[in-house]
Amino acid sequence: MERQRGWMIGAMLLASLVGGAASNLFLTARLGAQGGDVVTASQVNIIDREGRLRSVLAAEDERGMTSLTFYGSDGVVRGVIGAEQDGTPMLRFNNPAGVARLSASVEDDDPMIAVGDQAARSVIIGSVGGTPIVDLLDREGTRLRMTVGNQGEPRISLFNTAGQRGVGLLVSSDDAPFLYLWDAAGGQRVAMGGVQGSTVVNLGDGTRPRLVLGVADDGRASVAFYGAEGALERDISADTQP
């Protein structure tokens, strides 16, 4: 008992001389108290019966991460579990060529999962600021996005190769459905939907509506023409003469 106590005091004094920090003293005392089954190392290599490296547990790998890395029998990295230097946890599984095909991480409070070839076509599933997102991507970027808004409204957006929205679908929080069409420059050209029992179709010039077609909840149809400044120029309804 006296011998063990003397060993712990000696270890504590040595840590104090080397590190000069109270945290090192505390850590050394804890390690000493855990007994002989504890292994302290900056890296642990695991090999198979043929002597091939199959796994590495590293406090800091070549990427600066704390990681557990798995290798195939050919030496190719097939999986990594770890934490970035800032503490961000991550998971990655690779194909036989060592290229990532499934990745997952949690940055701050936002989890993200990427599936597929991120250099070609892939899927991202995650949450940003509490909003769930599903993105379908190709080499040009996001081509389709599905989200659910704060009020529970589902949205689907389709993007062109320049990253501009081309088509949008929405069911608002009051259950009104809408369809939107944009041109290549991002100008809204068509908006149609159902509003409080009425059907409305807006045809625009990319800046504002120019022609509005409608069918009211009582069945009355109407056509309205608007000028370039947004002023109503002509209104035709089923119960008036053109």
Residues 9-31 have pLDDT tens digits of: 343 333 343 444 444 444 445 54
Enter the pTM of the model.
0.75
Are 100 and 60 part of one and the same domain?
yes
pLDDT tens per residue across span 147-204: 999 999 999 999 999 999 999 999 999 999 999 999 999 999 999 999 888 999 999 9
pLDDT at 79: 97
Q: Is residue 34 part of a domain?
A: yes
Nearest to 150 by CA among 138, 132, 170: 132
Are 30 and 49 part of one and the same domain?
no
Q: Region 82-91: what's the mean pLDDT?
A: 95
Q: For residue 6, what pLDDT band results from cuts at 50, 70 and 90?
A: very low
Handedness of CA 104, 106, 112, 118 (dihedral sign): negative
pLDDT at 17: 37
Q: For residue 119, what pLDDT band results from cuts at 50, 70 and 90?
A: confident
Are 93 and 78 part of one and the same domain?
yes
How many domains does the chain divide into?
A: 2
pLDDT at 35: 61
Are 55 and 102 part of one and the same domain?
yes
Tokens linked to 27: 């850590």
> String of b and e for 104-124 (b: at least 16 CB within 10 Å)?
bbeeeeeebebebebeeebeb
Q: Region 97-104: what's the mean pLDDT?
A: 96
**pLDDT beyond 70 at 209:** yes
Q: For residue 237, what pLDDT band results from cuts at 50, 70 and 90?
A: confident
> What's the CATH number where 57 sits?
3.90.930.1
Domain extent, residue 27, equals: 1-38
pLDDT at 38: 85
Are 66 and 84 part of one and the same domain?
yes
